[in-house]
Amino acid sequence: MNKKPEVVEREDVVIRFSGDSGDGMQLTGTLFSDTSALLGNDISTFPDYPAEIRAPQGTVGGVSGFQVHIGRTEVFTPGDYADVLVAMNPAALKANAKWMKPDGIIILDEDNFDEKWIKKAGYKEDPVTEEKLNNFNVIKAPITTLTKEAVKDLGLDMKSVVRSKNMFALGMVYWLFNRPLTFTETFFEEKFQKRPIIVEANKKVLQTGYHFAETIEAMKPTFMVSPAPIKKGTYRNINGNQATAWGLIAAAEKAGLELFIGSYPITPATGILEELSARKDLGVRSFQAEDEIAGICTAIGASFAGLLGVTTTSGPGLALKSEALGLAVMTELPLVVVDVQRGGPSTGLPTKTEQSDLMQALYGRNGESPVVVVAASSPSDCFYYAFHAARIAIEHMTPVLLLTDGFLANGTEPWRIPSMKEYPAIKPRIVPEGTENYQPYARDPKTLARSWAIPGTKGLEHRVGGLEKDFLSGNVSYDPMNHHRMTEIREEKVDRVVEVIPDLELMGPDTGDLLVVGWGGTFGHLRTAVTELQAQGKSVSLAHFNYIRPLPKNVRNILEKFNTIIVCEINLGQFANYLRMKFQDFRFEQFNMVRGLPFTVVELKNKFIELLEA
Amino acid sequence: MRVEDTTLSFKDFKSDQEVRWCPGCGDHAILNSVLRALAELGVPPNKYAFISGIGCSSRFPYYMDTYGFHGIHGRAAAIASGAKVANPDLNVWVITGDGDAMAIGGNHFIHLIRRNIDINLIMFNNEIYGLTKGQYSPTSKKGTITKTSPFGTIEAPFHPGELVIGSQGRFFARSIDNNVKLSTEVFVEAAKHEGTSVVEVLQNCVIFNEEAHGDITDKEVREERQIFLRHGEPMIFGKNMDKGLILDGLKLKVVRLGENGVNEKDLLVHKANENNPGIHTMLSNMRWPNYPVALGVIRNVSYPTYEVALDSQINKIRQSSKIKCMDDLLKSGQTYTV
């Protein structure tokens, strides 16, 4: 390749690939982030796609986007605004122009900017002018034409030709950021092993895009983002769903149990079921149930039979599972329920993110029905929290609800691969054969967990079920005081999990003007906003929660050392209200934004500054 | 299933819990028949899990000294599916009723059968909701007057056998609560069948649907109105064993032996293992007064079970995959070292 024009080093860059939902933007973005990760950048990605598999072509509603944030320092969010936008058609421009940084670069497939598609996207004549983008660096490239030209001798059908145009755009972006093509070329070779012509076509289009950008010197200067000083080790890119699935397998392995998953496909949780279904090599017994209720009921049946039972879902599915979750509370069996939260109520926004299932997770059942509630806070820590959710379920004989969300589920980041040696052993409370006078509801005095007699074991025959249990024998009991006692025991058992969870960590000084409080998937954005304000000398700290029920022991100690407390969440204040109930002598400010999207760091900082200056 | 112990008796399977069904309820006799069947099968109590939903019948697991799970309404088939798939060595029985299995639990019921998980399901069919004190069920005959149908039901009932066969059921049998001998025999056959076995037991509810099946079970008339099907034997019935079934065009027809030159050789011979479900469906659907009601094992066809297929898939993948533990998985695929 020829000598390059001037190269400018950048701290970090946000790139957004967007096009029709059939344009392959998710793959394009993934390939760019994989290459960047392999070059040593820190990355964070966020796919943003419509619920329709192939929404009407050229419409704003059908635009699929993939945002990637790469940095030479650590990055914790996919970025608020993009430095570079790839728009494969006018609709993609329309959907994303407002998310551009003022001096950004826009790459357009000018072949698709004809009258028909311009009108379809809702523009009159000239989208660039109408969006007031004239002072942006707009690179118009005849992507479709040049893609066709590049592969015309390969004898491919037109559909395959057009489908590879995303690689042309990717080639251009690689040039712009001085990235090699080799990793992506290797990907083609592995992915299309049996179809050499597709490998060749994709390589050719990718290279043509790269050379096109080079030839026209699309940008002067081009950019470089050097490797980030990240901790030494072996890394992989992982999304939240995959990390969740793996954390569950890891827990089963550490407990010496087989893993059973009973689930029904639902966006955005399906990836966990898919990943676990593929893991037969590790003995996962996966069961695609006929509905959400069967998902949890088969998992409960499996737990009863001595396996680690797991079911995965999203908000509407959790609603369907609530009666059965109460059954798991009553029968005191280990069960992990994963709720990958999405926009609600009802069908809501299936592909978008939200944190509005918190109250449902805590209280959405009949009766006094306590469960442990844990929330993951980054794509990769879904592994850690899935592992510990399962550990608590097994060692405390209780259902545990793990909350993730659409942002964590689909977002990816580099993950330093742990060794299973770093994780603790999990000790199931299995009753050995030959135990005399087994009482199904006798408890460990410390944790109040009952023990687990596995069907098949001689001499431990017993019955469990949804009717109230005698506090010792587990036989059906209608005794009024027994019911009161059992209600308290179930509550107390969940409360005592506090002994095995870590204290709440504070990011920043342990006293000050403003305490920012968050939970779950907003961690990256809150952390970035708080860190940036701290760098400006502001008196602000962050307390981010992963253990929701029970809450860590030291919450009060942290809260009482700040003048102002603000709880930020993607709902109308569910965690804030929960904290109000638990800590009635504090005042909690709120920041809530429910767009189906993550917070932006900018809006968080603005809000915090407003409070600090008030 | 394997026979392991021939010294087990009825009492080895009976729990110490007080049986709380109404005096005269058909459930008592069904419990008796199950206990007899288990004693005959010779598998020890710890190898069984009895799983139920909600309803009068679903109290059943408490009366068995086996592993038991009293679930929630309609979900017994799902809970049992999980237990059996998790632990294929367990002998899993589902105890359910007409409302539990075919109204609130209809979806789990048909999918259990479709998957052919090796579970024995006994459906107590009393054509009424008993535990909620007398509302019509999905099997109540059209026109039945109940508390929620004071002017008679206006909906067509399910015929359980037809639903089972429609769900690709491979085993369907029918018995009557107070016929302990037949029930025991049928339960033993159901247990021996590998795959989902459904046994419909016509059960009487003395409180809310007395004489639910009286028109075919009353002593004076039952021999004329019931037909016992046995694999390999002609379809013959009647007090004097003088009636039988033949195929007349596309329908079954009741004939009298000796009339119009019909003799025993002309009668249909029962083939429970016939894969084609046509005749089995017709036999399941026979209703008085046009036909006698068929009892015994109506359909018994072999087909691979879900859990065996799952195990063989897991074993196969385990052998071929390089990933043997979590650490292998963590290091698999695209990784990079910094």
CATH fold label, A7-224: Pyruvate-ferredoxin Oxidoreductase; domain 3 (3.40.920)
Question: Does B254 reside within a domain?
Answer: no
Tokens representing B75? 């979900």
Q: What is the ipTM of this complex?
A: 0.97
Residue-level pLDDT at B4: 56
**Cα A324 to Cα A295, A529, B19, B53, distances in angstroms:** 10, 40, 26, 12
C-alpha span between B73 and B102 (Å, rounded): 11
B76, closest residue in chain A (CA to CA): A297
Residue B164's nearest CA partner among B227, B110, B222 is B110
Per-residue pLDDT at A472: 96
Cβ contacts (< 8 Å) between A294 and chain B: which residues?
75, 78, 81, 107-108, 111
Closest partner residue to A281 (CB to CB) among B46, B107, B323 is B323
Tell me if chain A has a CB within 8 Å of the CB of B14. no
Instruction: Give the CA distances from residue A567 to residues A321, A437, A526, in Å, rounded to whole numbers and listed in that order.
Output: 29, 51, 10
Q: Do A324 and B75 touch (CB under 8 A)?
A: yes
Q: Which residues contact B182 (CB under 8 A, 6 or more apart)?
A: B175, B176, B228, B295, B296
Residues across chain B = 338
CB A249 within 8 A of CB A266: no
List B residues 107-136 in contact with A (Cβ-Cβ < 8 A): 107-108, 111
Average pLDDT over residues A111-137: 91
Poorest-confidence range of A1-10, A102-111, A308-317, A388-397?
A1-10
Question: What local confidence, expressed as pLDDT, does residue A49 receive?
Answer: 77
Chain A residues whose beta carbon lies within 8 Å of the beta carbon of residue B87: 302, 305-307, 454-456
- Are A302 and B46 a contacting pair at CB < 8 A? no
| Residue B172: inside a domain | yes
Whether residue B110 contacts residue B163, with contact meaning beta carbons closer than 8 Å, is answered with yes
The rounded distance, in Å, linking the Cα atoms of A171 and A211 is: 8
Domain that holds residue B86: 10-212
Is the per-residue pLDDT at B268 higher than 50? Answer: yes
pLDDT digit string, tens, across residues B154-207: 999 999 999 999 999 999 999 999 999 999 999 999 999 999 999 999 999 999
pLDDT of residue A408: 97
- Nearest-CB residue to A290 (from B71, B107, B335): B107
Say how far apart CA B221 and CA B288 lie, in whole Å.
Answer: 11
Residues of B in contact with A285 (CB under 8 A): 85-86, 310, 314
Tell me the mean pLDDT in the region B218-229: 95
In a domain, B281, yes or no: no
For range A564-588, the mean pLDDT: 98
DSSP string, A169-206: HHHHHHHHTT--SHHHHHHHHHHTTT-HHHHHHHHHHH
Sign of the dihedral defined by the CA atoms of residues B112, B69, A283, A193, in that order: positive
Q: Do the bridges between strand B251-256 and strand B243-248 make them parallel or antiparallel, or are there none, so unpaired?
A: antiparallel
Contacts of A260 in chain B (CB under 8 A): 82, 85-86
Average pLDDT over residues A152-168: 90
Q: Do the domain assignments include residue B57? A: yes
**Token output for A12:** 């970090």
Q: Using CA atoms, how far apart are residues A267 and B94, in angstroms rounded to an integer?
A: 32
Amino acid A208: pLDDT: 96
In the CATH scheme, what is the code of domain A506-613? 3.40.50.920
pLDDT digits (tens, 9 = 90+) for B129-147: 999 999 999 999 999 999 9
A42-51, A229-238, A487-496, B106-115 — which is least confidently predicted?
Answer: A42-51
* pLDDT score, position A174: 96
Q: Average pLDDT for residues B233-237, to the nearest whole number?
A: 98
Written out in words, the top-level CATH class of the domain with range A237-422 is alpha beta
Split at pLDDT 50, 70, 90, the class of A219 is confident
The residue-averaged pLDDT of A209-215 equals 94
Task: Please tell me which of the candidates B54, B65, B86 has its beta carbon nearest to residue A307.
Answer: B86
Whether A466 sits inside 8 A of B70 (CB atoms) is yes
* Cβ contacts of B103-106, under 8 Å, gap ≥ 24: B103/B74, B103/B137, B103/B138, B104/B53, B104/B73, B104/B74, B105/B53, B105/B73, B105/B74, B105/B75, B105/B76, B105/B77, B105/B78, B106/B74, B106/B138
Q: Which strands, in side-by-side order, build the sheet including B251-256?
A: B236-237, B243-248, B251-256
* Cα A512 to Cα A379: distance, rounded to the nearest angstrom: 30
- Cite the residue boundaries of each domain of chain A with CATH code 3.40.920.10: 7-224
Q: In terms of DSSP H, where are the helices of A344-430? A: 358-363, 381-396, 406-410
Q: Which tokens sit at B253?
A: 């027809």
pLDDT of residue A135: 85
Average pLDDT over chain B, rounded to whole? 95
In a domain, B276, yes or no: no
Would you say residue B312 lies in a domain?
no
Segment A342-347 shows an average pLDDT of 97
Residue A1 pLDDT > 50, yes or no? no
pLDDT at B5: 62
Confidence band for A583, pLDDT divided at 50, 70 and 90: very high
Give me the number of domains chain B comprises. Answer: 1
Mean of per-residue pLDDT scores for chain A:
95
SS3 of A582, please? helix
3-state helix, strand, coil in chain A (%, to 5): 40, 20, 35
Residue among A268, A218, A246, A606 at smallest CA distance from A408: A268
Is residue A129 within 8 A of residue A106, CB to CB? The reply is: no
Q: Reduced to 3 states, what is the DSSP secondary structure of residue A335? A: strand
Tell how strand A512-519 and strand A547-549 pair up: unpaired
Residue pLDDT, tens place only, A516-548? 999 999 999 999 999 999 999 999 999 999 999
Mean pLDDT for A73-98 is: 94
The reply to whether residue A281 touches residue B324, judged by beta carbons under 8 angstroms, is yes
Distance between CA atoms of residues A488 and A367, nearest Å: 12
| Domain-embedded: residue B30 | yes
DSSP per-residue letters across B62-79: GGBSSEEEE--TT-HHHH
AA identity, residue A613:
E
Residue A102 pLDDT grade (very low, low, confident, very high; cuts 50, 70, 90): confident
* Partner residue facing A302 (CB), from B75, B85, B327: B85
Q: Sheet holding A506-507: strands in order across?
A: A506-507, A540-545, A512-519, A562-569, A589-592
- Name residue A514's beta-bridge partners: A540, A564
Look at residue A2 and tell me whether its pLDDT is greater than 60: no
* CB atoms A283 and B327 under 8 Å: no
> Over pLDDT 90: what percentage of chain A?
88
Distance (Å, rounded) from C-alpha A347 to C-alpha A360?
15
Q: Is A2 helix (H, G, I), strand (E, B) or coil?
A: coil
- Rounded to the nearest 10°, the torsion over CA A468, A473, A477, A483 is -60
- Which domain CATH number covers B142? 3.40.50.970
What does the pLDDT read at residue A217? 81
- Residue of A285, A337, A412, A458 to mutate, testing the B interface (most B Cβ within 10 Å of its Cβ): A285
For B262, residues 6+ apart whose C-beta sits below 8 A from its C-beta are B244, B246, B255, B256
**Residue B121 domain-assigned (yes or no):** yes
Q: What percent of chain B has pLDDT over 70?
A: 98
Ranges in chain A annotated CATH 3.40.50.970: 237-422
Residue A216 pLDDT grade (very low, low, confident, very high; cuts 50, 70, 90)? confident
Q: What are phi and psi of B316, to 5 degrees?
A: -65, -50
Contacts of A458 in chain B (CB under 8 A): 44, 46
pLDDT digits (tens, 9 = 90+) for A393-402: 999 999 999 9
Identify the pLDDT of residue B300: 98
